[in-house]
Amino acid sequence: MARTVVFDFDGVIHSYSSGWKGADCIPDPPVPGIEKALAKLHQEYEIAIVSSRCSTQAGVDAINHWLYKNGLAQYVDKVCKEKPPAIVYIDDRAICFDGHPETLLKKIQNFQPWYKKPTLTPPNGCVSRLRELDELYTKLHAVTGFTVEQLLEMFAAGYTLEKHDYSKSFEEMASLLEYEKEHANAYYEECGQWEAENTQLKEKLEALKQDRDFADEYELSE
């Protein structure tokens, strides 16, 4: 016998944000994420839907049409009015009995379905503060090359951060530039000497060529 999970329809699968409009009127979209949940559960369980809408055939047809239209029919094995035997029942208006009847009255008086509970919002300034922290973490990583977690581990191991001595860096840079300048001047002087020597050598080669040409012409004339 297949293990069955029973779902209530309105407020669990159908978002029910417009409230009750009639058994055969289902105007709202699915609850966000319910398709993925049904698809995963259907791999291991039989899925049944129970709803008061099923008191009429028009309501049953409306649920089946809505499931098909929203791509959920493939995950639902049956739609029924009465709850079948199941390993668990999922309902937006249910209270899980914990074995303490004395607490039921208070739970019932304080009960609200999930879609009517107030939405929690961050305190004023919380979002901007989180953005500031995120920017700070990004700057720390850019400057140090380490993430916040890595820095905390380093501090715990006894490491410390020291302010960089930029004056020393400037002195080293100035010294390096002066060194490069001296060597560049020497290089340019050496290049000038090479150019002069090349010019002299070229003139000598031209003279030798002229002498050779003259000698060849003289031999031919004899």
- Residues near 124 by Cβ (< 8 Å), separated by ≥ 6? none
The dihedral through the CA atoms of 93, 96, 102, 107 has a sign that is negative
Instruction: Report how far residue 213's alpha carbon sits from residue 207's, in angstroms, rounded to the nearest whole number.
Output: 10
What is the domain partition of the chain in residue ranges?
A: 4-95+105-116, 126-156, 182-222
Instruction: Report how far residue 91's alpha carbon sits from residue 50's, in angstroms, rounded to the nearest whole number.
Output: 10
Instruction: Please name the helix (run of DSSP H) or strand (run of DSSP E) that holds residue 211, with its range, or none.
Output: helix 166-221
Per-residue pLDDT reduced to its tens digit, 3-21: 999 999 999 999 998 889 9
Q: What is the pTM of this model?
A: 0.53
Q: pLDDT at residue 157 above 60?
A: yes
Per-residue pLDDT reduced to its tens digit, 64-117: 999 999 999 999 999 998 999 999 999 999 999 999 999 999 999 998 888 887
Q: What angle do CA 109, 113, 119 make, to 5 degrees?
A: 105
Of the candidates 13, 203, 181, the residue with the CA atom closest to the CA atom of residue 91? 13
Burial of 162: CB neighbours in 10 Å, binned 0-12, 13-18, 19+: exposed
